[in-house]
């Protein structure tokens, strides 16, 4: 995984668990094991630009997951029930609505 993807993946999880204001750049750097220079190389405008990248990435993961679920279940009710169950399990087990490692659940 490249550095930018690593930062986005880990920051997305941290933002979901702690909120934007609850996560500092130092925590992101520590979790990703990258330097401040590396983070600013990929996100010159800092934390706000990183959040936007995380939201775009999360949107892609969720959209792909929804399409997959609706292709697997014959009715809207079954697909919706599955999505709700999945959200509950993810929140209870991981503290996130969806993570990169959870997308294949």
Return the pLDDT at 104: 32
State how far the Cα of 1 lies from the Cα of 22, in Å rounded to an integer: 26
* Radius of gyration for the chain, computed over Cα atoms and rounded to the nearest angstrom: 15
CATH number at residue 27: 1.10.357.10
- DSSP per residue over 2-46, as a string? -HHHHHHHHHHHHHHHH-STT--HHHHHHHHT--HHHHHHH-TTT
| Cβ atoms 16, 96 nearer than 8 A | yes
Return the pLDDT at 95: 83
Q: Count of domains in the chain?
A: 1
**Per-residue pLDDT reduced to its tens digit, 57-80:** 999 999 999 999 999 999 999 999
Residue 27's domain spans which residues?
A: 3-102
State how far the Cα of 24 lies from the Cα of 60, in Å rounded to an integer: 24
């Amino acid at each position: 995984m490249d550095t930018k993807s690593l930062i986005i993946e880990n920051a997305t999880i941290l933002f979901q668990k702690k909120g934007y204001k609850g996560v500092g750049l130092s925590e992101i750097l520590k979790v990703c094991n990258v330097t401040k220079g590396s983070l600013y190389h990929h996100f010159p405008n800092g934390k706000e630009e990183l959040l936007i990248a995380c939201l775009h990435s999360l949107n892609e993961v969720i959209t792909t997951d929804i399409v997959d679920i609706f292709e697997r279940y014959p009715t809207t009710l079954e697909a919706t029930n599955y999505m709700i169950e999945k959200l509950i399990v993810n929140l209870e087990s991981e503290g996130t609505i969806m993570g990169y490692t959870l997308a294949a659940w």
